[in-house]
Structure 1
Amino acid sequence: MKPLLKNRSFTSIWFGNGISELGGQFGTFCMSILVYRLTESTLALGSIWILYYLSSLTLQLIIGPYIDRWSRKWIMVLTQWSRGLIFIFPLIVLSTGHLEVWHLYLVQFIIGIITPLYIPANQAITPTIVSREQLQTANGYLESTIRVMTVVAPITAGLVVQYLSAEITLAMVSTLLFLSGFLILRVQEKRGPRDIRKPWIQEFIEGTSYFFRQKIILWLNIFLAFVQFGVGVTIVITIPYITDVLAGNELHYGLFLAGFPLGYVIGALLINYFKINSRRLMMLGALFVGGLTFIALGFNHSIWFAIFTESIGGIMIAIFSIHNITLLQLAVPDRLMGKVGSVRMLIVRGAVLLGLFIGGILSELYGIRPMYFMIGGIICATSFFGISLPYFKFIDEKITEDQIAS
């Protein structure tokens, strides 16, 4: 078996993903700054993310069958190059002094349509370029690198915007996305036999049916959806939590944002050292502890304890999420990976969107701390049921080739 780090296809995906995430995070940071500069409105800032998720959901609903028909490598490459081209538009209008807020909404809408192509294609191609035995380690590398970039990018982008310009930041976004596409071009894609093409609706039903028939995929995705609902809520409440509730400043906000991905990286690096016989106990136990960190934030009055708590949450969610992705890749045949992955992402993105709406409304009515209690309570309750109810013993079962074939 070829060592993972000597596998050129894997390292191309690995570095391509890292550079892509860096560019994407630069773009997110710069777009948010520009929207707020133009509007000075937190409502406008929140609505641009709602627009992004709405457009993502639209394409996520229909794209799955095409990811299994087309070359996943070329989907990823063309997606990156398209994103790079799109960011040239705000660069031009900003440089000429004609930037308006609707330009940024248009860019975010298009990016929201394109992104659902990249993520399921990326998850679908990984099992075809690494062995089953290396899959969990590979996912650990990929996920931890993405989380590192979510720490590095906002700090770096902030320095570039502050000391250079937003125009240079946008130029860097395009450059990084183009470079990511060129790296992914080096992947030697292995494509299995493809079925005779069927009507889109037939393929969509096939992927959706498989998703709902496989209990382990369905239920772990439901558990993940509760976490993503919490993510949606925190997108709305994090800034007022740090600046108003804890009386922190922008530096504290940046450190708090860095806490979760740093913890995630630690969790990803340590995941192979967690030796618990029960997969269910390990995954859902980590999720339960992650829920407790939200409750702790609701009680908390210290900015430094908040940062530490967020790091613990990152470790726990890494343990759950990396196992979750690996199990999906092991349980789904290659010919259905794109379709099943798209159904999964549709549910996940829908949960985030719901969290954005509910978090925005309830935080206005009841304040910030109750939102952390609500998120933590939901995650703890659902994971506790998963641990304690005998029905969920199937999470511990080994996935066999016969199960996949069926």
Structure 2
Amino acid sequence: MMKREASVFRNPSFLFMWTGSAISELGGTLGTFCNSIIVYELTGSELALGSMWLIYFIPSLILQLGIGPYIDKWSRKQIMIFSQFTRGVIFLIPLLMFNLNTLEVWNIYIVQIVIGLIQPLYAPASFSIIPTLIPERLLASVNAYLDGTIRLMSFLAPPIGGLLVDWIGVSFTLVLVCSFFAISGLLLMFLKEPPLHMEKVRATWFQQFMEGIRFFIGQPLLLWLGIFLAFVQFGVGVTMVVNLPFMMKELHGSYTQYGYFMAGFPLGYFFGSILASKINLRPTYRRLIMLGSLAVGGLTYMSMSFITSIPLAITIEVIAGIALPFFTANSTSLYQQTVPNHLIGKVFSIRLFIIRAVMPLGILIGGALGELWGIRTMFLLIGMIICLSSLLGMCLPYFRFLNGPVDQKDSIHSAI
């Protein structure tokens, strides 16, 4: 165990990516926290809050669907660096408008559009570069470490953001957001990306895109991992709209308490990622453990429809966070082990498109039905959807392929 961890943390490229990703996530979560509060303060409308997220996701989805072939052609390192500096610059808009006392909702919407266009570049590039930096036997552990650290930053950002907004104000927080993205971009410059060995491809963009589609659809393992995660992302879309009103209206909390509530899930995810990297996960039981973790997450959603205590709500979020890494870390590793390097950008873009396409649906339903049916009913609905889909995957023999290829057993045991 100690030998494995030492080999990972002695890899300079991993250290730079690990640190850069952590700082980036801290800045991004702080920026999103500020944007949500600004829109809610300016409008007091759940619909406006939902619109902020729709404006983020719609351009993101459009670009996500078509960017895959280019991810496989361009330097993934340069894509990541470009993404970080661009995000740092775009947050200067609300910062300048705030200091000029001219900040309006449409300023935030512009930021959301640009961030939405950048995310489809950064996410598949970061997923795709990892197998070129890390030995295959360590992928599951590395993904768990990266996921856990990112979630730790997500845990720290909401309470820090709540305290900063309450005590110091939005302006200083936005300065930190811009700085964090710049630092992350500088750190990523030190990645030792292997040179791209690109063959001369005469295929058009459409032919390359369809190649990724055919490979994705032709692999039931990849397709269904994406579908199961899509159910979770639907729930995430709903909570993007209802979490803030849930804390402020249903539980009568403050912005600081909202920050603690939002920090509960990533805190649990951090500890869950550590557990996921340590537990000897045999391929025979991988399907049950992965989908069982999703079922636990569904139960936590359902329990939110009944509680009236802020500390209990935070505790439930922590439990949900602990469960999810057992699905996400192993799912990502199966993708990285299954997809050839020349297709990985295309396939990851398609995967991200599928799981992100359902988030606007969740946002729309959360904004519309949340006011019509009530926030607690929405928590119960999404919990039932996640639990039902997970239980079907665990019980039906058809889904045994989710255990992964049989010949992966030795490499998985060697990583653990």
Alpha carbons of structure 1 residues 353 and 187: separation in structure 2 relative to 1, 3 Å? same
Mapped partners of 1:63, 1:399: distance in 2? 32
Deviation at 1:72, TM superposition (A): 0.1
Describe how 1:299-338 pairs up with structure 2 within 5 A.
299-338=306-345
Is the 8 Å Cα contact of residues 330 and 399 (structure 1) preserved in structure 2? no
2:176 paired with 1:168: no
Deviation at 1:262, TM superposition (A): 1.0
Please name the residue that 2:413 is paired with: none
Mapped partners of 2:325, 2:103: distance in 1? 39
The two structures have a TM-score, normalised by structure 2, of 0.92
Deviation at 1:299, TM superposition (A): 2.8
Mapped partners of 1:66, 1:169: distance in 2? 34
Residue number among 259, 267, 287 corresponding to 1:262 in the alignment? 267
Alpha carbons of structure 1 residues 221 and 43: separation in structure 2 relative to 1, 3 Å? same
Mapped partners of 1:356, 1:100: distance in 2? 22
Is the 8 Å Cα contact of residues 192 and 334 (structure 1) preserved in structure 2? no
Please name the residue that 1:152 is paired with: 156
Mapped partners of 1:87, 1:242: distance in 2? 27
Mapped partners of 2:52, 2:273: distance in 1? 31
Mapped partners of 2:311, 2:169: distance in 1? 31
Is the 8 Å Cα contact of residues 128 and 191 (structure 1) preserved in structure 2? no
Deviations 1:271-312 (A, max 9, x none): 133335311111011111221111222233333222222211
Deviation at 1:350, TM superposition (A): 0.8
Deviation at 1:141, TM superposition (A): 1.1
Mapped partners of 1:71, 1:326: distance in 2? 21
The one-letter amino acid paired with 1:54 is I
Q: Which runs of 5+ in 1 are unaligned?
A: 402-406
Is the 8 Å Cα contact of residues 158 and 262 (structure 2) preserved in structure 1? no
Please name the residue that 1:132 is paired with: 136
Deviations 1:171-191 (A, max 9, x none): 221111111011001000024
Residue number among 180, 201, 204 corresponding to 2:209 in the alignment? 204
Residue number among 20, 26, 30 corresponding to 1:26 in the alignment? 30
Q: Which runs of 5+ in 2 are unaligned?
A: 409-416
Describe how 1:362-373 pairs up with structure 2 within 5 A.
362-373=369-380
The one-letter amino acid paired with 1:356 is I
Is the 8 Å Cα contact of residues 57 and 349 (structure 1) preserved in structure 2? yes
Please name the residue that 1:382 is paired with: 389
2:84 paired with 1:80: yes
The two structures have a TM-score, normalised by structure 1, of 0.94
Describe how 1:102-251 pairs up with structure 2 within 5 A.
102-197=106-201, 198-251=203-256
The one-letter amino acid paired with 1:379 is I
Is the 8 Å Cα contact of residues 20 and 188 (structure 2) preserved in structure 1? yes
Is the 8 Å Cα contact of residues 147 and 264 (structure 1) preserved in structure 2? yes
Deviations 1:81-117 (A, max 9, x none): 1111212232223223333322221121111111110
Mapped partners of 1:195, 1:360: distance in 2? 48
Deviation at 1:51, TM superposition (A): 0.4
Q: Which moved more, 1:54-63 or 1:28-37?
A: 28-37
Q: Describe the SS at the equivalent of 2:158.
A: helix
Aligned CA RMSD, in angstroms, stands at: 1.8
Please name the residue that 1:345 is paired with: 352
Q: Which moved more, 1:148-157 or 1:383-392?
A: 148-157
Deviation at 1:399, TM superposition (A): 6.2
Mapped partners of 1:234, 1:220: distance in 2? 22
- Identity of matched residues, %: 47
Q: Which moved more, 1:298-307 or 1:217-226?
A: 298-307
Please name the residue that 1:283 is paired with: 290
Mapped partners of 1:23, 1:298: distance in 2? 31
Alpha carbons of structure 1 residues 165 and 241: separation in structure 2 relative to 1, 3 Å? closer
Residue number among 238, 253, 257 corresponding to 1:252 in the alignment? 257
Alpha carbons of structure 1 residues 163 and 296: separation in structure 2 relative to 1, 3 Å? closer
Q: Which moved more, 1:327-336 or 1:231-240?
A: 231-240
The one-letter amino acid paired with 1:255 is Y
Is the 8 Å Cα contact of residues 79 and 114 (structure 1) preserved in structure 2? yes
> Once superposed, which parts of structure 1, at least 4 consecutive aligned residues long, lie more than 4 Å away?
none
